[in-house]
Amino acid sequence: MKETTTSSSAPSRKALSKIACNRLQKELGECQLSPPQVPSIKPPIASNGTVIEANGASGTIYANETYQLQVVFPEHYLTEAPQVNFAPPAPLHPHIYSDGNICSAETIGD
């Protein structure tokens, strides 16, 4: 898993609050002690975007594929969810749009 911080031409976002930074550091520590079965996030985590490389799950049509996810943590992380999108090329999946946006649970089945 490779993670890098990116800069973009998008408008700059406000910095994460101290509470949000502390929470992300705590979550990172927990991931390092007990790695999840899904991709993990490694430092640095930046409010302007973190790119996470994830490998497709073995035994699926996504096996042996590597995908990049753009994760943006909002200023009020903890009460607001991070934005997560696939960087092009996005995997072909009914809940992932061609631009990399992930279908929310509220729109599944509409």
Among all residues, which ones are annotated catalytic? 103
Residues 6+ apart with CB under 8 A from 12: 48
Residues 6+ apart with CB under 8 A from 81: 74
* Phi, psi of 37, deg, nearest 5: -75, -10
Residues 6+ apart with CB under 8 A from 64: 55, 56
